[in-house]
Amino acid sequence: MKLDDLVTSSHSWMQGNGPESDIVFSSRVRLARNLADNIFPNRATPNEKAQVLERILAAVKDLEHFKDGLTLKMDELEELDKQFLAERYLISRELAGGGAGSAVVISPDQSMSLMINEEDHIRFQVLLSGFRLRECFAIASQIDEQLETRLEYAYSPRLGYLSACPTNVGTGIRISAMLHLPALILLRQIEQVLQAIIKLGLAVRGLYGEGTEWFGNLFQISNQVTLGRSEEELIASIEKVIRQVMHSEKAARTSLLKTKSAVLYDKVGRAAGILGNAHIITSRETIDHLSTLRMGIDMSLVGDLDRQAVNELFILTQPAHLQKIYGKTLDASVRDVERGTLLRQRLLEK
């Protein structure tokens, strides 16, 4: 398996066939772990980081979940490749910024990835289509247990797993889900819903951002705290909130269909019309229209488009993906033209 093989392959969660995936695009569990005998990456010398890398790679090598997977060292990658991996959610922007000693191991189906020498020695994630936090956690726990037989973790009986950032100390878990909430936005109820989530102690981010701006009606909801609560408790509490948000979004969709169905059909029709016919289109405009189109598919407003095709376009139209597909680096203005070509081809195919 090579990095370029990823370009034409579909991430498991891009298939969009998980439970409740009309609203919950994906579920993710990430664990942060550190080795007991080594200094944390932010204070480590290049030599120490190299040693940690070797130790962890040796341990990961024969893990069942990463069998036939792909190991990529950051100092051996082009900038474009790093950006490509970040767009696929396979590495963090932080890891992409790391040099010698930083690496990622990716499972063949891309649902699992394990980063080495990011902020912590080890951060690995399980990312699945739909609302499947418990399944993500079960797989992550298997990986965790298998790693623990091979490596000694930095662990405090009082605090739990130690980590470079205090917010990760304890379980070291980050549980998150990407929710698609177009109807709440159309009905201007989103702020109210987001405020309620934040009051419950969870974090909300727009797509790709730490900031308050959002793209494509997509929101990542995640836990803020890991200390003092069990993984079970954390998952149960975030699941409960997600169910409430799902309920609100479903109610908003039903309400829109009843009271503003022409507006809905119009938005979805125009989105399809523009995506299928534009010749110059930015990433931002693309995401917004894809979001509207996806809503149309999920609400059965359009018949002849499949969800996977639209899901894939969310990722394939990103800047680095476009350049990987095209096979070379492209200016933003050329990318806007190539993005139009890709969209027209893909949407006409279906």
Candidates 192, 254, 277, 345; binder of its own copies (CB under 8 A) is 277
**CA–CA separation, 19 vs 66, rounded Å?**
25
Interface stretch with its own copies, choices 192-200, 203-211, 270-278, 324-332 (CB under 8 A): 270-278
Residue closer to its own copies, measured from CB, 262 or 332 = 262
Q: Which of 179, 187, 193 is nearest to 253 (CA)?
A: 187
Answer whether 15's CB lies under 8 Å from 123's CB: no
337 touching its own copies, by CB under 8 A: yes
Residue closer to its own copies, measured from CB, 9 or 277 = 277
Q: How many C-alpha atoms does 188 have within 13 Å on its Cβ side? A: 0
**CA–CA separation, 33 vs 167, rounded Å?**
13
Q: How far is the CB of 277 from its own copies (least distance, A)?
A: 3
Residue closer to its own copies, measured from CB, 7 or 337 = 337
Answer whether 169's CB lies under 8 Å from 180's CB: no
263 touching its own copies, by CB under 8 A: yes
Candidates 8, 64, 68, 262; binder of its own copies (CB under 8 A) is 262
36 touching its own copies, by CB under 8 A: no
326 touching its own copies, by CB under 8 A: no
Q: Compute and round to an integer the Cα radius of gyration of the chain.
A: 21
Answer whether 121's CB lies under 8 Å from 41's CB: yes
Residue closer to its own copies, measured from CB, 257 or 337 = 337
Residue closer to its own copies, measured from CB, 134 or 260 = 260
41 touching its own copies, by CB under 8 A: no
Answer whether 156's CB lies under 8 Å from 149's CB: no
Report the 10 Å Cβ neighbour count for 246: 18
Helix (H, G, I), strand (E, B) or coil at 14: helix
Helix (H) / strand (E) containing 71: strand 70-73
**Tokens for 191?**
């702020």
Q: How far is the CB of 70 from its own copies (least distance, A)?
A: 36
Residue closer to its own copies, measured from CB, 159 or 280 = 280
- Total interface residues for its own copies by CB under 8 A: 19
**Length, in residues, of the chain:** 350
170 touching its own copies, by CB under 8 A: no
270 touching its own copies, by CB under 8 A: yes
Interface stretch with its own copies, choices 19-27, 80-88, 262-270, 305-313 (CB under 8 A): 262-270
Residue closer to its own copies, measured from CB, 169 or 281 = 281
Q: Please, what is the Cα angle at 49 between 44 and 53, to 5 degrees?
A: 150
**Tokens for 109?**
């189906």
Q: How far is the CB of 263 from its own copies (least distance, A)?
A: 7
Binding site for its own copies (CB under 8 A): 262-263, 265-266, 269-270, 272-281, 337, 340, 344
